C-alpha cells in the first residue's frame, strides 16, 4: 500500500530523512513516534506527495505521489487524506462548507465552482458530522469553534474525502490531554469503520500504545524502531527520544565540518548528554 525505499531527503545540508525501507500494508494503524524534527512530518509529506525525495522511491497505491503527471498526482491526493497539525480549515467558512470541500475531488468540477454539490454529498456530510458529533453546528463559522470542535471538523473533512489512507500529523498537539485522547479515539474508530489505513504522527508513546497496531520510531531522520507496540520498551523509547542528542554529540566528536544542526533538527538543546 505504501512503500518507501532508499529514500533520502535533504533540506540544504541537513539530512531530514534517511529511510532504507518501510512498507505499510492495508488496514494497519501505524503510529510514527519521534521528536519534532525527527522526520515524522517529512515522511508524511512524502507520502502525501507534497515533497519529492532527494533520492529513492516512494510508492503509494502503486503510484508515485509526487508524479509529474497532474492526473496521477490528483488521484493520489484524493486517495490519501491528511489531517494537519494546524487543521488548516477555512476560518471564515462554515463547518459544513469545510466538510463538503473534502469531496471536491469527486464532484462535477464546474457545478462545484458555483457552490452546488450533489444531494448525496450533502447527505454524506450530514452523516459524517453526526459521526464526529458536530450535528447542529453545520452553519457555524469555523473561526467561532473551540479547538476540539475544529479538530473534529478537520477529521470530518478527511472522512468526506473517502480516502484509502488517512495521515494525521500531530493531530492532537493543540488539544488538552483529555481532549487529545478522545480525538484520537474518534479518529481510530472512524478509520476502523471504513477499513482505512491510518498513519499517525505522535510524540506521546503512551497515548499511541492504546491505538496503534504498529510503531515506527524515528530519530534524526533514521528508523530506530519498527514493530509491535507491545515490544516498544523503555530502551527503545530512549533510543527514539534521546538518540538525537547522542548523535549530535557523536558528530561533534567525529567530524569538524559536516555537523551542522540547522532546522529541522531538534531544538532540545536544553539537555546535553555526556557520552559515557
Partner 1 sequence: MEFFTRLIPPDWSVAELVLRSTVETLMIALAGTSLAVLGAIPLGFLAASNVTPGWLSHTVKWILGLIRSIPLIVVAIVLVTAVGLGPFPGALAIAFHSVGMLAKFFAEEYETAEEGILQAVRGTGANWSQTLRYGLVPQSVPQIVAFIVYRLEMNFRDAAVLGLVGAGGIGYYIQLYVRGFQYEKVAVLLLTIIAVVTALDQLTYWVRRWVR
User: Is 245 a binder of partner 1 (CB under 8 A)?
Assistant: no
Pairwise CA distance, residues 206 & 219, whole Å: 17
Q: Kindly tell me which residue out of 12, 62, 109, 276 binds partner 1, with binding defined by CB under 8 A.
A: 109
Nearer to partner 1, 35 or 157 (CB): 157
Minimal distance, residue 75 CB to partner 1, in Å: 7
Q: Kindly tell me which residue out of 25, 55, 88, 123 binds partner 1, with binding defined by CB under 8 A.
A: 88
Pairwise CA distance, residues 119 & 131, whole Å: 19
Q: Given strand 214-219, what is the order of strands in its sheet?
A: 55-60, 2-11, 14-24, 222-227, 214-219, 29-33, 197-202, 165-169, 80-83
Q: Which residue stretch of 2-10, 80-88, 192-200, 239-247 sits at the interface with partner 1 (rule: CB under 8 A)?
A: 80-88
The footprint of partner 1 on this chain (CB under 8 A) covers a number of residues equal to 31
Q: Which residue stretch of 27-35, 154-162, 232-240, 241-249 sits at the interface with partner 1 (rule: CB under 8 A)?
A: 154-162
163-195 b/e (C-beta count within 10 Å ≥ 16 → b)? bbbbbbbbbbebbeeeebbbbbebbbebbeeee
What helix, strand, coil percent values describe the chain, rounded to 5?
40, 20, 35
Q: Which residue stretch of 70-78, 120-128, 145-153, 179-187 sits at the interface with partner 1 (rule: CB under 8 A)?
A: 70-78
> What is the SS3 assignment for 190-244?
HHHHHCCEEEEEECCHHHHHCCCCEEEEEECCEEEEEECHHHCCHHHHHHHHHHH
Minimal distance, residue 25 CB to partner 1, in Å: 23
Q: Which residue stretch of 106-114, 116-124, 215-223, 265-273 sits at the interface with partner 1 (rule: CB under 8 A)?
A: 106-114
User: Is 62 a binder of partner 1 (CB under 8 A)?
Assistant: no
User: Is 153 a binder of partner 1 (CB under 8 A)?
Assistant: no
Q: Kindly tell me which residue out of 8, 78, 209, 214 binds partner 1, with binding defined by CB under 8 A.
A: 78
Nearer to partner 1, 84 or 251 (CB): 84
Pairwise CA distance, residues 104 & 8, whole Å: 33
- H/E stretch holding 83 reads strand 80-83
Q: Which residues make beta-bridge pairs with 200?
A: 31, 168
User: Is 132 a binder of partner 1 (CB under 8 A)?
Assistant: no
User: Is 59 a binder of partner 1 (CB under 8 A)?
Assistant: no
Minimal distance, residue 222 CB to partner 1, in Å: 27
User: Is 157 a binder of partner 1 (CB under 8 A)?
Assistant: yes
Pairwise CA distance, residues 221 & 40, whole Å: 8
Nearer to partner 1, 42 or 245 (CB): 42
On whether the CB atoms of residues 29 and 191 are closer than 8 A, the answer is: yes
Residue keyed to cell 540544504: 12
SS3 164: coil
Q: Kindly tell me which residue out of 62, 113, 255, 256 binds partner 1, with binding defined by CB under 8 A.
A: 113
Q: Residue numbers of the site for partner 1 (CB under 8 A)?
A: 48, 50, 74-75, 77-82, 84, 86, 88-93, 97, 101-106, 109, 112-113, 157, 160-161
Amino acid at each position: 500500500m505504501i512503500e518507501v525505499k532508499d529514500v533520502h531527503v535533504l533540506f540544504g545540508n541537513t539530512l531530514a530523512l534517511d529511510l532504507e525501507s518501510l512498507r505499510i500494508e492495508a488496514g494497519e494503524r501505524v503510529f510514527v513516534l519521534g521528536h519534532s524534527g525527527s522526520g515524522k512530518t517529512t515522511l508524511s509529506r512524502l507520502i502525501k506527495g507534497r515533497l519529492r525525495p532527494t533520492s529513492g522511491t516512494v510508492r503509494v497505491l502503486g503510484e508515485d505521489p509526487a508524479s509529474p503527471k497532474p492526473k496521477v498526482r490528483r488521484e493520489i491526493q484524493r486517495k490519501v487524506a491528511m489531517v494537519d497539525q494546524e487543521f488548516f480549515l477555512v476560518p471564515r467558512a462554515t463547518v459544513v462548507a469545510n466538510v463538503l470541500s473534502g469531496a471536491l475531488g469527486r464532484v462535477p468540477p464546474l457545478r462545484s465552482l458555483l457552490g452546488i454539490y450533489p444531494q448525496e454529498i450533502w447527505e454524506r456530510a450530514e452523516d459524517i458530522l453526526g459521526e464526529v458529533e458536530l450535528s447542529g453546528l453545520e452553519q457555524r463559522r469555523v473561526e467561532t469553534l473551540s479547538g476540539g470542535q475544529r479538530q473534529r471538523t478537520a477529521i470530518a473533512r478527511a472522512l468526506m474525502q473517502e480516502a484509502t489512507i488517512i495521515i494525521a500529523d500531530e493531530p492532537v498537539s493543540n488539544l488538552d490531554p483529555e481532549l487529545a485522547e478522545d480525538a484520537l479515539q474518534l479518529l481510530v474508530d472512524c478509520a476502523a469503520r471504513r477499513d482505512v489505513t491510518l498513519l499517525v504522527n505522535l510524540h506521546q508513546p503512551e497515548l499511541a500504545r492504546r491505538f496503534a497496531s504498529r510503531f515506527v520510531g524515528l530519530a534524526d531522520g533514521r528508523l530506530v524502531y519498527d514493530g509491535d507496540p507491545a515490544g516498544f520498551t523503555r530502551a527503545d523509547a530512549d533510543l527514539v527520544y534521546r538518540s538525537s542528542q547522542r548523535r549530535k554529540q557523536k558528530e561533534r566528536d567525529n567530524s569538524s565540518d559536516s555537523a551542522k544542526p540547522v532546522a529541522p533538527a531538534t531544538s532540545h538543546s536544553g539537555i546535553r548528554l555526556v557520552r559515557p
